[in-house]
Structure 1
Amino acid sequence: MSAIAWVVVVVAVVVALGAIGYVVAGQSRRRHLQDRFGPEYDRVVQDADNRRDAEQELLAREARYADLDIRPLDAEARDTYAKKWREVQERFVDAPSFAVTEADALVTAVMADRGYPTDEFEERVNVLSVGHAGTLDRYRQAHEISGRAARQEATTEDLRQAMVHYRALFDELLDDDVHAHSPRKEADH
């Protein structure tokens, strides 16, 4: 075999290995994002123009989350918030719409105390999707019901469902173990 033929064979092998590496890296990234974001991965892919754009969006969310100073609540703050939640639940009996509004505000307060951004709902959702993908759809539903409640368009059952949804995220936000699985902590191991 001539030198030119060997060069062609080596270049072809290098290109093939590069292509295989690219595909494997893409699949690994996809698995990581699917595991990390759960149903949010599928939602973002469905809303995006293509899978690559969706995955870039999710990677950007991870980077944004890693830049935040998400911190656990101390025991006193957890107890205070738990007490406030019980009070909100008690008010639900007499004023369900008001209680849902309070539940939304309480979840937002816990987020702020933990270091999450709380200015805009979409920003909250994007950052929460990194560490709380399992309850994100429930949070969206609760927020949507809260908006309908403000316009007096929600039934008592809707309001009850909103409370259940807010409670799921509230419980996760109070849990210190959630912080232990942040991207910054995982990178340290």
Structure 2
Amino acid sequence: MTSVILVVVIAIVVVLAGAALLAQPYLRRKRLRHRFGSEYDHALEHTEDRHAAERELVERERRHDSLELRALTSERKHEFTEAWTSVQERFVDEPADAVREADQLITTVMAERGYPTEGFDQQVADLSVEHAATLGHYRDAHLIATKHAQGQASTEDLRTAIVHYRALFLDLTDSHTTHKKDTVS
């Protein structure tokens, strides 16, 4: 191999390596946007910069990968569906109690699926990896429930909260998500 050919080969390798390094942040951003959807934008709005937001989302993925998530058995799914129906029926006579029960049922379903339930912010972070599409509903329902606890929510607001909780409930109970540690099919 002549020295000219060797120089050309080295130059091509250097250019390709440089292109790969430059493309890496773009590909990571594209992957995170696809996986997290609107949650990606939410993370951007609530952190200091894009790199911090992306680090946060990657950390959520790492934590999520360490969870031992499982699908609901058909029996448990049926029990939870009946409990949800009861929550909705209760709304007619006692809307505030129904909203509290809806929130508790969401937490119970999360625990049954293997999600930690140590606090709202952590619940949102853990759910964001596989349930990003319904997180806006969960946040909105939680905000209304908090406003209600402060005496600042109307019955119509509580109805809206139930609708939001239902979106996440359906996502959690109808989820066909498989996880590498799933033990129930």
> Which letter maps to 2:107?
T
Would you say the 8 A contact 1:110–1:173 is kept in 2?
Answer: yes
2:147 corresponds in structure 1 to 148
Would you say the 8 A contact 1:68–1:116 is kept in 2?
Answer: yes
Percent identity over the alignment is: 47
Paired residue secondary structure (1:93): helix
Q: Confirm whether residue 89 of structure 1 aligns to residue 102 of structure 2.
A: no
How far off its partner does 1:26 sit? 1.7
2:64 corresponds in structure 1 to 65
Paired residue secondary structure (1:70): coil
Give the superposed CA RMSD: 2.0
Paired residue secondary structure (1:132): helix
Alignment deviations for residues 92-143 of structure 1 (CA, whole Å, 9 cap, x no partner)? 0111111101100000000000000101111100010000010101100100
1:34 corresponds in structure 2 to 33
1:175 corresponds in structure 2 to 174
Paired residue secondary structure (1:101): helix
How many equivalent residue pairs?
180
> Which letter maps to 1:36?
R
> Which letter maps to 2:91?
F
Go from structure 1 to structure 2 and tell me whether the alpha carbon gap of 1:50 and 1:18 turns closer, same or farther (over 3 Å shift).
farther
Long gaps (5+) in structure 2? none
> Which letter maps to 2:108?
A
2:22 corresponds in structure 1 to 23
Q: Distance in 1 between matches of 2:89 and 2:107?
A: 19
**So what's the TM-score if we normalise by structure 2?**
0.89
Would you say the 8 A contact 1:107–1:170 is kept in 2?
Answer: yes
**So what's the TM-score if we normalise by structure 1?**
0.87
Go from structure 1 to structure 2 and tell me whether the alpha carbon gap of 1:46 and 1:151 turns closer, same or farther (over 3 Å shift).
closer
